């Protein structure tokens, strides 16, 4: 997918929208909702602030993985040169597509939110709130940050910056305690926040990115396999049908369970459970 040049230095930005400054409810999350046009600009601005810091720090390319909703949120025309945008679905590594590219040294999480079973956070969910109640890896409930950081660690890539709400920053202590965090808002409730303006968030993220890149990179987050992975679905039928797959078994009325050899396999199963449809249409 990307040129394999031995001298290229790359940084991956995995970007979501719920953790961006200004976003406070579902009205900002999809093209048919009244605030999405503004929210995608806020998301793009935060990504640009982080990407410019990386390019100015000497990276040759910044890979940006658009990881929200239909994955057509970030505005390509607003991105600087030497940014490579990964968008649309399906893709096997979901929000972490690009981490497998040659020369990726570090990863930033921008616009991130807490997991469905986490301690609060605005719009908290795990990958797809309509599909999953919870995702558990070796018995540990996974936020997107936790599972994405573990996948990055399998490729030897550390997470050095986490941007989002205060609850997301607290969750980052589980998977990259030495990462720089940038809090752009705090949750008042699941669907209410108090936070910075988008302009203030861009400035704060740029400063945090520069600080992160000026410090020694944290250690990658590494977990030992094999990986017992449980998908707790919102539908009993979905869990039942997943258990028909080879290597997947029922583990309760709403739970499908598999033991997998790699975190890339864990992510592929997550992607298939979330995105598969018999017509190929993406159910988002």
| Residue 57 within a domain | yes
| Residues whose CB is less than 8 angstroms from the CB of residue 126 and which lie 6 or more positions away in sequence, other chains included | 115, 116, 117, 132, 134, 135, 142, 143, 144
pLDDT tens digits for range 87-137: 999 999 999 999 999 999 999 999 999 999 999 999 999 999 999 999 999
- Give CA–CA dist 66/73, Å, rounded: 7
Write the pLDDT tens digit of every residue in 125-175. 999 999 999 999 999 999 999 999 999 999 999 999 999 999 999 999 999
| % of the chain at pLDDT higher than 70 | 98
Residue 72 falls within a domain, yes or no?
yes
Structural domains counted in the chain: 1
pTM: 0.96
Task: Confirm whether 194 is domain-assigned.
Answer: yes
Q: Which domain holds residue 179?
A: 10-118+144-213
Q: Is residue 242 assigned to a domain?
A: no
CA distance 184 to 144: 18
CATH of the domain at 186: 3.40.50.10780
- Residue 78 placed within a domain: yes
Q: Which two tokens stand for residue 162?
A: 């986490």
Q: Does residue 43 surpass a pLDDT of 70?
A: yes
Which position has the higher pLDDT, 3 or 89? 89
Q: Is residue 157 part of a domain?
A: yes
The reply to whether 135 falls in a domain is no
- Answer for the pair 173, 148: CB distance below 8 angstroms, yes or no: no
Query: Does residue 63 sit within a domain?
Result: yes
User: Rounded to the nearest 5 degrees, what angle is found at the Cα of 36, between the Cα atoms of 34 and 37?
Assistant: 95
């Amino acid at each position: 997918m990307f040129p394999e040049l031995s001298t290229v230095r790359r940084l991956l930005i995995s970007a979501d929208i719920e953790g961006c400054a200004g976003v406070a409810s579902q009205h900002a999350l999809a093209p048919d909702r009244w605030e999405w046009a503004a929210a995608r600009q806020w998301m793009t601005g935060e990504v640009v602030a982080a990407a410019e810091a990386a390019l100015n720090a000497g990276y040759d390319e910044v890979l940006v993985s658009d990881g929200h909703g239909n994955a057509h949120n970030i505005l390509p025309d607003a991105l600087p040169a030497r940014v490579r945008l990964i968008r649309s679905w399906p893709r096997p590594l979901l929000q972490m597509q690009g981490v497998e590219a040659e020369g990726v040294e570090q990863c930033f999480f921008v616009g991130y939110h807490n997991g469905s079973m986490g301690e609060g956070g605005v719009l908290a969910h795990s990958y797809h709130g309509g599909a999953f109640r919870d995702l558990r890896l070796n018995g540990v409930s996974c936020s997107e940050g936790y599972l994405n950081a573990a996948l990055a660690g399998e490729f030897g890539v550390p997470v050095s910056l986490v941007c989002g709400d205060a609850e997301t920053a607290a969750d980052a202590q589980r998977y990259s305690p030495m990462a720089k965090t940038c809090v752009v808002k705090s949750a008042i409730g699941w669907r209410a926040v108090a936070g910075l303006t988008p302009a203030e968030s861009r400035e704060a993220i740029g400063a945090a990115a520069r600080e992160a890149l000026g410090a020694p990179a944290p250690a990658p987050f590494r977990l030992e396999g094999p990986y017992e992975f449980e998908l707790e679905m919102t539908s009993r039928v979905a869990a039942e049908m997943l258990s028909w797959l080879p290597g997947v078994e029922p583990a309760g009325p709403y739970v499908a369970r598999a033991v997998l050899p790699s975190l890339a396999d864990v992510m592929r199963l997550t992607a298939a459970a979330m995105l598969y449809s018999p017509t190929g249409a993406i159910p988002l």
